[in-house]
Amino acid sequence: MLEQLKEDVFQANLELPERGLIKYTWGNVSGIDRETGLFAIKPSGVDYENMSASDMVICDLEGNIIEGKLKPSSDMPTHAVLYKYFSEVGGIVHTHSTWATIWAQAGLDVPAMGTTHADTFYGSVPCAPFLTQAAIDQGYEKETGHLIVSTFEKRELDPMAIPAVLLHGHGPFTWGKDAKSAVMNAVVLDEVCQTNLYARQLNQFAEELPQRVLDKHYLRKHGENAYYGQK
- The phi and psi torsions of 29 (rounded to 5 degrees) equal -130, 145
Q: Residues 2-25: what's their mean pLDDT? A: 96
Q: Which pLDDT value is given to residue 90?
A: 98
Using CA atoms, how far residue 180 sits from 42, 72, 90, 148, in Å, is 14, 19, 9, 21
Percent of the chain with pLDDT over 70: 100
- Three-state SS for the chain is CCHHHHHHHHHHHHHHHHCCCCCCCCEEEEEEECCCCEEEECECCCCHHHCCHHHCEEEECCCCEEECCCCECCCHHHHHHHHHHCCCCCEEEEECCHHHHHHHHHCCCECCCCHHHHCCCCCCECEECCCCHHHHHHHHHHHHHHHHHHHHHHHCCCCCCCCEEEECCCEEEEEECCHHHHHHHHHHHHHHHHHHHHHHHHCCCCCCCCHHHHHHHHHHHHCCCCCCCCC
Identify whether 33 is a catalytic site residue: no
Average pLDDT, the chain: 97
Instruction: Quote the pLDDT of residue 223.
Output: 86
Domain boundaries, the chain: 3-222
The pLDDT value given to residue 35: 97
pLDDT, position 224: 86
pLDDT value of position 72: 98
Which residue in 24, 158, 198, 228 is the catalytic one? Answer: 228
Q: What is the pLDDT of residues 121-177, one digit of tens each?
A: 999 999 999 999 999 999 999 999 999 999 999 999 999 999 999 999 999 999 999
Task: Report whether CATH 3.30.360.10 matches the domain 3-222.
Answer: no
Model confidence over 30-40: pLDDT tens digits? 999 999 999 99
Dihedral sign for Cα atoms in the order 39, 142, 24, 21: positive
Q: Which of 109, 119, 140, 215 is catalytic?
A: 119
Question: Is-catalytic flag, 228?
Answer: yes
Mean pLDDT across 182-192: 98
**How confident is residue 11, by pLDDT bands cut at 50, 70 and 90?**
very high
